[in-house]
Amino acid sequence: MKHLIQSFRIIVLSALSFLFFACPPKCNNQLIVISPIPDSILNLVPYVDGQKVCLKHSEGTQIVFDCSRRRHTEFDDFDYGCGNSIEFEVDRTILTPEYPLPEISLSIKKISEDYVDMNLWFAGGNFNFIFYENKVDTLLEYVIDNHIYINVWALKSDHYNSYLNQPELLVDSLYYNAEYGVLRIKMNNGETYDYDNSCKN
Amino acid sequence: MIMTIPAKIKCSILLVFLVVLFSSCAEDQALKKVNYYLSDTITHWLVSDTAFMRFEVVDNNGIDREYFMHANEHDNTIGSSYFMGVKTQVSFTEYCYQRFRSNYFDEFSIYLYPSFNDDVYGEQIHFSINDLSFHYDNNLNIVTDIYFGSHYLNLRITSDGVEDKSLISSSLSFLDSISINGKEYSNLFHFKLNDLKEYWDDYTITDIYFAQGVGLLRYDMYNGLIFTRK
């Protein structure tokens, strides 16, 4: 009987100590709020909510895009609830074509105090504009249909496709400036979608 | 222990029951096995040549898009029937499935099923393009189901036949040949959508042309856009 009681005590003690050590340490959560995206970066996207934007295909067809622009806050939880999380601003512009083509998505995210990520996506083509310390890189001059555009970024696509099989017809490059937005999207077969200023808003 | 004859009979029955129960636990084990196969007639609709697994399409505004094969399956689905916990029948139904996607994220697929249920249902072609799907029964020679977005129409089919054929007016007809962008294609179907018109929009696909062995040749949208194989 004594032996039984002693065994029982050992079992209970073991269970209690296991319970004690199985409890995770108290989390030291801290929410880091990143300051808003500065106007100098927001002004790099000239699109306004409700605006019509036009691009002209190299074969002549004008494609009208309906613009939606929204700003919201997102959270990133790095340690799944037990660690720092950050709150940051996202400015997202969606250009929805009035044609059977995918949307153009432009997003600006400020995920740290010294780093802003601006990204444009169209048909599997992904373009990253990276600004350190809120500064913008030196740009170039670009001519489309005898019109000279200044302060133009010329970017090559990082192809992002989530599936293994890839098409061979791909988005190749993007020409963009802060005054007009998308100036040209070029496909790798030579087709282009060019900024068309004859859009009726 | 000496068993009486009735007791022996009961034990034997119990033994047989237990053997059947355990032997029917395996996925492909049952009292009866049934196989449903696809005929050559229906499998001719599959894209068979690797040369046709990637192709370009141009619309009537000169905008190109490229389709490429994204899935190509040939397998069996397994079905089981039970009676009082005993697997009485296991069926192996052959199927073929091909799916294509475009660089602009359009998608079409073709799914082939064999006939079943004592030929009440014939061999089936299930075709889907973007938000439109239809089922065609090769025995009854009619379109039996239409799916468009969240809307659908289904014909009710019994051993006596189709209850109300007038419910679906969309059609599928077979053509000997067609010329598209200077190339001749033979043995094709032309699907014409005539239903659910109240839900159509500019991008609703109303006509589909699809050739045996080659695949999608042409599709037309309600707004007049026509996409043809280059």
Domain ranges within chain A, ordered by starting residue: 31-195
Among B58, B104, B106, B204, pick the best mutation site for testing chain A contact (most A Cβ within 10 A): B104
Nearest Cβ partner for B104 among A58, A123, A189? A123
Please give the single-letter amino acid code of residue A16.
L
Contact list in A for residue B62 (CB cut-off 8 A) is 57-61
Average pLDDT estimate for A100-127: 92
Contact list in B for residue A60 (CB cut-off 8 A) is 61-62
Q: Do B103 and A61 touch (CB under 8 A)?
A: no
CA nearest to A164 within chain B: B70
Sign of CA pseudo-dihedral B42, B48, B53, B58? negative
pLDDT band at B30 (very low <50, low <70, confident <90, very high): low
A30-33 and A84-97 strand pairing: parallel
Nearest Cα of chain A lies from the Cα of B105 at a distance, in angstroms, of 7
B65 touches A at CB < 8 Å: yes
Q: Answer yes or no: is pLDDT of B1 > 60.
A: no
User: Which ranges in A23-163 belong to alpha helices (H)?
Assistant: 39-42
* pLDDT at residue number B217: 98
Predicted confidence (pLDDT) per residue in B144-181, tens digit: 999 999 999 999 988 788 888 889 999 999 999 999 99
CA nearest to A190 within chain B: B64
Nearest Cα of chain A lies from the Cα of B171 at a distance, in angstroms, of 25
Q: What percent of chain B has pLDDT over 90?
A: 64
pLDDT band at A136 (very low <50, low <70, confident <90, very high): very low
Q: Is A112 within 8 Å of B116 (Cβ atoms)?
A: no
CA nearest to A61 within chain B: B61
The structure tokens 């005539």 sit at B194
Nearest Cβ partner for A101 among B62, B70, B104? B104
Nearest Cβ partner for B64 among A60, A100, A191? A191
Tokens of A180: 């007009």
Q: What percent of chain B has pLDDT over 70?
A: 90
pLDDT band at B134 (very low <50, low <70, confident <90, very high): very high
Average pLDDT estimate for A4-17: 80
* pLDDT at residue number A28: 65
Its ipTM equals: 0.82
Nearest Cα of chain A lies from the Cα of B206 at a distance, in angstroms, of 15
Average pLDDT estimate for A66-91: 84
Contact list in B for residue A187 (CB cut-off 8 A) is 64
Q: Do A59 and B62 touch (CB under 8 A)?
A: yes
* pLDDT at residue number A24: 59
B230 touches A at CB < 8 Å: no
Contact list in A for residue B225 (CB cut-off 8 A) is 100
Q: How many CB pairs under 8 A join A and B?
A: 50
Q: Do A102 and B102 touch (CB under 8 A)?
A: no
B70 touches A at CB < 8 Å: yes
* pLDDT at residue number A20: 62
* pLDDT at residue number B135: 96
Q: Which residue has the higher pLDDT, A45 or B158?
A: A45
pLDDT band at A1 (very low <50, low <70, confident <90, very high): confident
3-state secondary structure string across chain B: CCCCHHHHHHHHHHHHHHHHHHHCCCCCCCCEEEEECCCHHHHCCCCCCHHHCEEEEEECCCCEEEEEEEEEEEEEEEEEEEECCEEEEEEEEEEEEEEEEECCCCEEEEEEECCECCCCECCEEEEEECCEEEEEECCCCEEEEEEECCEEEECCEECCEECCHHHCCCEEEEEEEEEECCEEEEEEEEEECCCCHHHCCCCCEEEEEEECCCEEEEEEECCCCEEEEC
Q: Which residue has the higher pLDDT, A91 or B6?
A: A91
Average pLDDT estimate for B12-18: 69
